Amino acid sequence: MTEIESRIAELVAHFRQIGVIQMQDLPIYNAGLEVEAVGFQAVGNRWIGVLITPWFMNAILLPSEKTALDAKLIGQKSQEALPAATCAFISGGDETVGGYKSLSLYSPMAAFTSQDRARHEAQARLTALLTPPAELPKPVAQESPPQEPANLSRRAFLRGRRNA
């Protein structure tokens, strides 16, 4: 197992433990779902993927190398450039996984009726984050709208009539 695979497995194990200890009795917990990491891949010097839990779905940015947890950074927002856009991620982490950043995609998860549906949506959202926007077509030159005749009566204007 590579270092990144090990860290992703630690991330999943950490959130499974949170689910069992802190979340499973809360109304936002969707018992039909489980913790799963989806589509993690390298983007520059970091890894991005989606973490599905029974209570949220987040995009996760992991540094390529494990970083020490800095408690001062927990909860701080930072703008992170992705191929599709720059997004506001929130710093988080734990002693086992180290520091990471997350972007909320869904919470709560009540709309998902199966793990397959959640996984499909996670992959679609990850693809959207990693796909650069297509070049927008250049606007076609349009003719200016015809000028309204100056002698249009107030009554005709209010009724939407135009002079011929």
Domains annotated for the chain, with CATH where assigned, are 3-130 (3.30.1460.40)
- Cα–Cα distances in angstroms (integers) from residue 151 to residues 57, 71, 154, in the given order: 61, 72, 9
Mean pLDDT by 10 residues, the chain (164 residues): 89 96 96 97 94 98 88 94 95 90 96 97 97 69 52 54 52
pLDDT of res. 43:
92
pTM over 0.85: no
90 phi and psi, to 5 degrees?
A: -110, 130
pLDDT of res. 54:
98
pLDDT of res. 159:
57
